[in-house]
Amino acid sequence: MIIIKKTELARAMARAQDTYILSGPVETFHGHTFRHLEPGQTPDLSYQHTLVSPKAVVFPPSDPLLTFSGNDWTGPDLAGLPPQAAVGIRPYDAKALHLLKYNFDTPEYKDPFFLSRFENLTLVGLAENQPDPANFSTSCGTGPFDETGLDMLLVDLGDALAGKILTDKGEAFARAAGLVPIPAEKKTAVASTIAELKTRAEKSMTSPREFGSLDPVSTLDLYEQADWEALAFGCINCNTCTFVCPTCWCFDIQDEARGQKGVRLKLWDSCMSALYSAHASGHNPRQQGWQRFRNRFMHKLKYFADKYGAGPMCVGCGRCIRLCPAGIDIRTIHQALSRLEAVT
Amino acid sequence: MNNPYEPYPVTIKEIKTETADRSLKTFTFAFIHQADEAAFSYRSGQFAMLSVPRVGEIPIGIASASSEKGIVKFTVFKTGKVTTFLHNMKQGDVMGIRGPMGNGFPLEQMTKKNLLIIGGGFAFTTLRSTIITLMQPDVRDQYGTIDVVYGARNPGMLLYQDELDQWCRQPGINMHITVDETDDPDWPHHTGFVPAVAGECAPESTGNSVAIVCGPPVMIKFTRPVLADLGYGDENILMSLENRMKCGIGMCGRCNIGQELVCRDGPVFTLAYLNKTPGEF
């Protein structure tokens, strides 16, 4: 356990930057975002949530896979990347990175772009003392003070931050930032304060009691029997939900070139887009918007859960709820599917 | 950690125009590095990404058989940016191949069985690989009867015409070729859609028969009831699907059918298996 005064945070981060490439929450014109920190830049730990999730730390929106020069190509050198640390990441976003790993680290194939960053990353979390009204992370197996998946958890105590060191990576980060453990006699009092803050934060949340487990209903029953056209009413397939989601991993691969020079890019994509699943022949198995809506929610709530046994592909961050222009709420969709479960 | 997005460099050894409208060409590639050829070990029914530097990638079924040493063939329909660029490339040009991908046909599980192979359009390309594999002298005896129903829009759109003629004369394989329409009064084969011709010509299942189906979604849809009438159980019908793919290694997400990914879990599935999944193909 460490304690750091907020007035000393900048100095600690500057020390950490001698060893780590840092990313963290930064205030922008449009609100907070999670991004790479320039030398000397301090993460703004007063934030509540970031509009776009921090998944870009391991899965950038645009990631060069190959560089072309004429007919020759080379991949980037991913070995020997300097260690990175995401400072001030919310526990639900840290869990999301672990869910992404299910997709990028498979027995058959390993995505070196994701994994080289993920394995090299230290996650320094920041507990959420006052959760956003759309946050329902406790329903998704995480929560505002969840420690799983983190290397260190920071808790805002007002003038200072308490830090629970959770792994060897967290220990190494604390050393690099010059953070020293607090005396043993003070530990109990700090732990008690953290426990109180945690209870208060979790009580303030209005999370649905059940979320995620749709096990009793078969995939085909959910797929065919739910009134998906009604559920999707209002959805304009704008893709916002997928781009802000911390667990969505769909991507496209495109070449960009000027003359003989070019680059092959892995780019975030969205299953809500009509072109996403359109065949070269013109046939599209998900031609209608509601069919793409169905695929998204089936993937989040059923396919992923069944395939990996790791719960839903959702961490309850609430971004898709806050930002959906049609007011679609994943909790409502889950509720409708659960009602189907009750009937069948 | 290997980079599964990095293609093997190949040179174009030969380009053959297949169809009268020049929309389909078969490209024969040779690997530039011998080690890459050894690493690209494939089976019929698998596919690969053809990678044109600075233009893009496309998934295409492998048309050659692993018995055709030193080369790998792909038949490509000119339809988009990458395929149009590829169609304009010349012998000796360098490009890339990434793969092989997917599961392919489990031919070793079909020994001693009668095989019915049904293909339509340019999806027949992977079935060429299967037929070449099956017709190897040391392989052919391991199987019972082999019937092939293959259809194209018109005679000019039939692929591999020299080989079709040869297979029609060859013992050990029963060819049933059809076209949707033709003006040729001397046309020696069938006229009609693939499902209808399969219903007329394909042998009934003996209970020891397997059907391999590869074609556009509409052909697959209408072939399913025909195979049921011929007595093929859903466990013995293998479908090769064509969902849109980008990464080919099950990560980009777009080719899913339920929780299955066509590029990694397929493209070959039994109909019995597909019956349990959302029909998004």
pLDDT at B172: 94
Q: Which of A108-112, A114-118, A337-341 has the lowest mean pLDDT?
A: A337-341
Instruction: Report how far residue A262's alpha carbon sits from residue A273's, in angstroms, rounded to the nearest whole number.
Output: 26
Q: Is the bond preceding residue B267 a cis peptide, omega within 30 degrees? A: yes
Distance CA A252, CA B136 (A): 40
The reply to whether residue B252 touches residue A75, judged by beta carbons under 8 angstroms, is no
In this predicted structure, the answer to whether residue A46 has a pLDDT above a threshold of 60 is yes
Residues A10 and A177: beta-carbon distance below 8 Å: no
Locus of tokens 């006699």: A185
Q: How many CB atoms lie within 10 A of CB A287?
A: 12
Mean pLDDT confidence for A171-181 = 95
**CA quadruple B12, B15, B18, B23: dihedral positive or negative?**
positive
Cβ separation of A285 and B280 shorter than 8 Å? yes
Type and span of the H or E element at B192: none
Mean pLDDT over each residue of chain A, to the nearest integer: 93
Query: For the residues A57-61, what does the mean pLDDT come to?
Result: 97
- Predicted pLDDT of residue B51: 96
Label residue A343 by pLDDT band (50, 70, 90).
Answer: low
From CA A259, how far away is CA A85, in angstroms rounded? 38
Interface mutation vs chain B, best among A72, A250, A313, most B CBs within 10 Å: A250
From the CB of residue A31, how many other CB atoms can be counted at a distance below 10 Å?
12
> B96: which chain A residues are within 8 Å (Cβ-Cβ)?
73
φ, ψ (nearest 5 deg) of residue A163: -125, 120
pLDDT at A341: 62
Who wins on pLDDT, B138 or A280? B138
Of A183, A181, A182, A176, the closest CA to residue A12 belongs to A176
Q: In the block, which residue shows the tokens 């040493």?
A: B69
Task: Reply yes or no on whether the pLDDT at A33 is more than 70.
Answer: yes
Q: Which pLDDT belongs to residue A57?
A: 96
Which uninterrupted H or E stretch holds A171?
Answer: helix A168-176
Residue indicated by tokens 């009204």: A133
Q: Which of left, alpha, beta for B104 (phi over 0: left; psi -120 to 50: alpha)?
A: left
Q: pLDDT for A321-331, tens place per residue? A: 999 999 999 99
**Does the beta-carbon distance from B6 to A277 stay under 8 Å?**
no
Interface contact A110-B2, CB threshold 8 A: yes
Neighbours of A263 (CB within 10 A): 17
Asked if B3 and A112 come within 8 Å (Cβ–Cβ), the reply is: yes
Res A80 pLDDT > 90: no
Distance from CA of B12 to the nearest CA of A (A): 13
pLDDT more than 90, % of chain A: 85
**What's the pLDDT at A344?**
52
Rg (CA), chain B: 18
Residue B121, by phi and psi: left (phi above 0), alpha (psi -120 to 50) or beta? left
Q: What amino acid is encoded at A250 in this protein?
A: C
Q: A134 and A208 in contact (C-beta within 8 Å)? A: no
CB contact under 8 A, A253 and B259: no
Q: Are strands A261-268 and B8-17 parallel, antiparallel or unpaired?
A: unpaired
Per-residue confidence (pLDDT) for residue A279, from 0 to 100: 87
Decide if B56 and A253 are in contact by the 8 Å CB cutoff.
yes
Tell me the per-residue pLDDT of A183-229, one tens digit each, with 9 for 90 and over.
888 889 999 999 999 999 999 997 777 787 787 788 999 999 889 99
Could you count the other beta carbons within 10 Å of the beta carbon of residue A251? 24
Chain A CB contacts of B5 below 8 Å: 65-66, 75, 113, 253, 264, 266
**Residue of chain A minimizing CA distance to B95:** A71
pLDDT over threshold 90, residue A79: no
- Identify whether the C-beta of residue A268 lies closer than 8 Å to the C-beta of residue A251: yes
Q: What pLDDT does residue B216 have? A: 85
Q: What's the gap in Å between the CA of B142 and the closest CA on chain A?
A: 30
Spatial CB neighbours of B139, under 8 Å, sequence gap ≥ 6: B133
Distance CA A142, CA B180 (A): 58
pLDDT for residue A135 is more than 90: yes
How crowded is residue B276: how many other Cβ atoms within 10 Å of its Cβ?
A: 11
**CA–CA distance, A182 with A162 (Å, rounded to integer):** 9
Q: Which chain A residue's Cα is nearest to B217?
A: A283
Residue ranges of chain B whose pLDDT lies below 50: none
